[in-house]
Structure 1
Amino acid sequence: MAESATKRLKISPVTIGTHNGHFHADEALAVYMLRLLPTYNDSKLIRTRDPALLDTCHTVVDVGGEYDAAKERYDHHQRTFNTTFPNRPTKLSSAGLVYMHFGKAIIAQKLGVAEDAEEVSVIWEKIYTSFIEALDAHDNGISAYDPKAISAAGLEKRFSDGGFSLGAMVSRLNPNWNDPTPSDPVQAQAAEDEKFLVASARMGEEFSRDLDYYTKSWLPAREIVHKAYQKRLEHDPQGRILVFDGQSVPWKDHLYTLEEKEGGEAKILYVLYPEKPVPDAKWRIQCVPVTKDSFESRKPLPEAWRGFRDDELSGITGVDGGVFVHAAGFIGGNKTFEGAKTMAVKALDI
């Protein structure tokens, strides 16, 4: 019978096992995420497919043919494997498995709060959908779009994007087929492992940057957006204008989430905010996109205003203090809040 993970931990340093050979973004990130936690800070790494060696490891990711969190086994290549992140459709890779089980601990450690804190769950879900899920899909060969629907619509790519995804980036860090390889197997494995550690650090850099953003910027913005949303009826009886009094914050994710929870047909059309957090700052009017990543606005600023600036714009709009309206109509500006708000109110009815 195999030793328990607890017994192995007591008798040897914590060791993470993963496969050798061609490496991928999912296990590169899985190893990095584990090493963020105290248990794995000083862990050893064994890259092998030898079952006997893997059995000596405290934790194994992306190899071994077994998913059993109680035994710290996180492989997803089994024929019967179909585990997904809660409320998401994408089959997990080793990155998703490790994140699902250890992500809350990583986030709680970053925030200095308990794992069951509400903000931990909010960020845990957000980082999965904005970062980890794409890696899971890439490793499992799942397209972002339905290939049959694309084919039926007759859509073709206009140009090559060069495969500039995180998965492709990690793939390029693997040894080339004609790179010199040490004749000694131990040295050859060590050279390959060095390249893997470069890939793991590179993936970790992206993950840590995401974690920093969502804990230090995105999360604090959430409360500010919520407060502005609660005051939306003060600026328009139908609640179509959102105003940030102090300065702009990352608002799109939070706004769409609030609208979804609220339900109904009413949607924010314009967001107003000062260019800088100073008393005499100019103000911007930004149109809300149809979706977070869309270039199409729910209601662009009037076509007759677009491309004009300063006094000429003020004459066209009938609002003093005009600064500009972008030629595409998705953003404009005024010297004062009152002017920006008046422009937004007029635009609602045009």
Structure 2
Amino acid sequence: MLRTLVRKMAENAPKRLKTSDEVVIGTHNGHFHADEALAVHMLRTHVPAYQSARLVRTRDPAVLAECHTVVDVGGEYDPARHRYDHHQRGFTTTFPGRPTKLSSAGLVYLHFGREIVARKLGAEDRESEAVGLVWAKLYESFVEALDAHDNGIGVYDPAGLSAAGLEKRFSDGGFTLGAVVGRLNPNWNDPVPEDPAEAQAAEDARFEQASRRIGEEFDRDLDYYTRAWLPAREVVAEAYNERKQYDEQGRIVVLKRQSAPWKDHLYSLEDQAGPEAAKVLYVLYPEKPVPDAKWRIQCVPVAKDSFESRKPLPAEWRGFRDEELDAISGVPGSVFVHASGFIGGNKTFDGVLAMAKKALEA
């Protein structure tokens, strides 16, 4: 009886689409990918007009034509008609300021991302600076990777890697954002229901799971960038403006109250200051927001995701702790310096500042 019901629902889908006023999102059936899984999640979870939307997975042009919105199928990119496909010949659309060709995820985010961010921030103006900052950052940190994956664009240029003779040192298990969704597709040898409607229903259930899974990751980033990353900008800007209190060239930044996500904002502030301004080498911050907290000194990396520091802590300090480090560094209250020299600690602010000033001279 269940098989018959599912079959009738599939057979009657075009009729329902013609007569119903409900909002229907269409995407393709078959093997699914992260881009359409995220596109569907963003619409149904974060855009009020789609929160009760029904999903249809098909490649039938007649069925897709009756859908309110179509993503990742149909060969059309026409936002006025809510068509968001990227597979057609000649498609070259990218996100503002980024080089990566968009997938269906990027297209939906391009047109609805500001609304999503503004709603999360409780901002009335979708064109505000704060909304724009998070909109761009969330694309670069999350959505762009899915666009690249779906369009077959690697993180590094293959020719450049080959010319440099670079090879991976170890396997990362292929665990990327795309793989989060890809692994939820059925295996090649999994049993498939003989009834076509039942088989499609099983496939659709897997897609719904995939959409929720990639959506959870997107929502975590959306929450982080609106609730933690954006408020940190003001904290870092204040510290950057006061940097010459600690070094006349401005190479030391002090986050007085507690640590905050500082790298993105620091690089942005340095860019605004221009090439004539000295680069920050060390960032100091308390381990906890309490009066007697220990302090950390962290070296600024050459790039956000780099393990190479602009100026590591002195080699002779690295790997030592406590009194032994006190004797080597000449700074009382030393706690540790990491073996790679990218971070260290002291019991007091005066002590960690002394470490920074000595490291500048090393």
TM-score band by shorter chain is over 0.9
Q: CA deviation at 1:231?
A: 0.3
Q: Greater shift after overlay, 182-191 or 311-320?
A: 311-320
1:324 aligns with 2:336: yes
- Equivalence map 1:8-47=2 (5 Å): 12-35=21-44, 36-47=46-57
Partner of 1:244: 255
- Distance in 2 (CA, whole Å) between partners of 1:26 and 1:175 is 18
Partner amino acid for 1:47?
R
Once structures 1 and 2 are overlaid, which stretch shifts more, 70-79 or 308-317?
Answer: 308-317
Match of 1:313, SS state, is helix
1:306 matched to 2:318? The reply is: yes
Q: Does 2:189 align with 1:198?
A: no
Q: 2:146 aligns with which of 124, 135, 138?
A: 135
Q: Which amino acid aligns with 2:347?
A: K
Could you list the runs of 5+ residues in structure 1 that have no partner in the other structure?
A: 1-7
Q: 2-side partners of 1:205 and 1:252: how far apart?
A: 25
User: In structure 2, what is the Cα distance between the partners aligned to 1:149 and 1:323?
Assistant: 42
5 Å matches for 1:96-107? 96-107=106-117
5+ long unaligned stretches in structure 2: 1-16
- In 1, the alpha carbon distance for the partners of 2:298 and 2:357 equals 13
For 1:232 and 1:245, the matched residues in 2 are separated by 11
CA distance in 1 between counterparts of 2:54 and 2:279 reads: 52
**2:231 — aligned with what?**
220
1:253-306 deviations in whole A, cap 9, x for unaligned? 111111112111510001111111111111111111111111111111111212
Secondary structure at 1:76's aligned position in 2?
coil
Give the C-alpha shift of residue 159 in structure 1. Answer: 2.6
Summarize deviations over 1:226-265 as a string: whole Å, max 9, x none: 1000000111000000001100001111111111121115
- Which residue is 1:94 aligned to? 104
Match of 1:296 in 2: 308
What amino acid sits opposite 2:283 in the alignment? Answer: V
Are 2:166 and 1:160 aligned?
Answer: no
2:168 is aligned with what amino acid? K
Distance in 2, Cα, partners of 1:288 & 1:157: 25
Q: What do you get for the CA RMSD once the two structures are aligned?
A: 1.4
Equivalent runs, 1:66-85 vs 2, <5 Å: 66-85=76-95
Comparing 271-280 with 166-175, greater Cα deviation is found at: 166-175
Amino acid at match of 2:315: E
Aligned residues: 343
User: Residues 113-192 of structure 1 correspond to what in structure 2 (within 5 A)?
Assistant: 113-114=123-124, 115-192=126-203
Residues 300 and 309, structure 2, Cα contact 8 Å, conserved in 1: yes
Matched, 1:112 2:122: yes
Check whether the contact 1:9–1:58 (CA below 8 A) recurs between aligned residues: no
**Whole-angstrom distance in 2 between the partners of 1:214 and 1:77:** 30
Counterpart residue number, 2:70: 60
C-alpha displacement of 1:11: 5.4
Could you say what secondary structure the match of 2:56 adopts? strand
CA offset at residue 117 of structure 1? 2.0
Deviates more, 1:175-184 or 1:137-146: 175-184
**Range with bigger deviation, 166-175 or 18-27:** 166-175
| 1:285 counterpart letter in structure 2 | I
1:335 maps to: 347
CA contact (8 A) 2:180 2:213 kept: no
